[in-house]
Amino acid sequence: MPSRIHFSADDHTRIRLARAPDPMWGARLSMQVLQSTDAGLVFGRWRRAVWSRLGPSARAVLALAPPLGDPPDFLTPAAGEGGLEAGIAAVLATPRPRLRQDMARLARRQPLPPWARPLAEGDAGTLHRLADGLAAYHRVALAPYWARVCDLFEAERTANVRRLACADFSELLGGLHGDLVWRPPVLTVHDGRGDRDVHLGGRGILVLPSFFCWGRPRLLSDPGLPQVLVYPMPRAADGLSRSAGHGVRGPSLGCLLGRTRAAILESLTAERTTTEVAHRAGVSLATASHHAAVLREAGLIASRRAGPCVLHTATPLGHALLGGAPVAT
């Protein structure tokens, strides 16, 4: 049975295309994919690599995102648009009623592990354990592949912007995926959730393509939350395999520069704004700016101002450190 999203006149002007992949949605969906056996050709190599490196704290949080059904909504706060740090901070600040509601919904479908039961009462220690587990999971399962995910996301977003030249936002929604049907003013989402109606009431909706969204589009469980439509993006034939090189170079580069600076340097093989760098590295704008300054001081990146933005790119020395052509002497 489908979900039906009802658009008011105001909602048509409040449809937004996500500007970057959301690391919190990436974590939530990839945890479900990791525990599934579907799509072995797309995710098989990634699954094997992640399972071999996943530590106890990261494994623990998998219980909150079972392969079937919906994980708690608080795992994907709206603040995740701002990067991993902002998303995890929002998880830590989840109001107790939201925790209680989401954990009760999860407990109706499956037994909760003992460590997670205090989440329903907002236990601070348990929340911090969850935050640590989410960060550990992201480091292993997403960070080594995030640049590739961002490249595929940007290709999909560019295609959607082009489609908007020939259609409005509401018409675009119906053409994003076979399980989305647009009959004004209702978007029917065949998400396997069960028969329900979601009235946006002028709130609009965020449209987020995701590499790790497998099968059907996804919505948040609570229709009262700011709504997000997550749909499977087209995947390149090689999936995440182009990221395999990061598994060789990444750890040593991370030891040399630190994981965040290494991720930032790897993202700057093309010129990018500080905001784009922050999204690709999964950090806040202030953190990205700080690390960019350190890399610039070391001669690994160059920066220039273009209107209100600052654009960064790797220098020849930075490219050499990434394994490109050697620096001329």
- Residues 249-259 pLDDT 10s: 445 677 788 88
Residue 267 is predicted with a pLDDT of 85
pLDDT at 323 over 80: no
Decide if domain 242-321 falls under CATH 1.10.10.10: yes
- Indicate the pairing of strand 3-6 with strand 186-189: antiparallel
Phi/psi region, residue 306 (left: phi>0; alpha: psi -120 to 50; beta: rest), is beta
Q: 129 near 57, Cβ under 8 Å?
A: yes
Cα 112 to Cα 109, 129, 221, 273, distances in angstroms: 9, 15, 18, 42
Which residues are registered as beta bridge partners of 16?
206
| Gap between the Cα atoms of 196 and 3, Å rounded | 5
Range with the lowest mean pLDDT among 93-102, 224-233, 245-254?
245-254
Residue 318 is predicted with a pLDDT of 85
Q: 45 near 88, Cβ under 8 Å?
A: no
Which residues are registered as beta bridge partners of 15?
205
Mean pLDDT of 189-210: 92
Residue 293 is predicted with a pLDDT of 93
Percent residues over pLDDT 90 in the chain = 58
| Gap between the Cα atoms of 274 and 4, Å rounded | 38
Tokens of 168: 């409005």
Beta-carbon-side half-sphere exposure of residue 256 (alpha carbons within 13 Å): 14
- Residues 140-168 pLDDT 10s: 999 999 988 988 898 888 888 877 877 77
Q: With residue 296 as reference, give the H or E element that holds it.
A: helix 285-297
Length of the chain in terms of residues written: 329
pTM of the model: 0.78
Cα 57 to Cα 133, 134, 138, 284, distances in angstroms: 5, 8, 11, 23
Cα 103 to Cα 9, 72, 83, 99, 100, distances in angstroms: 35, 7, 24, 6, 5
Residue 236 is predicted with a pLDDT of 59
Mean pLDDT of 298-309: 85
- Residues 26-49 pLDDT 10s: 999 999 999 999 888 889 999 999
Where are the chain's structural domains? 3-18+148-232, 23-146, 242-321
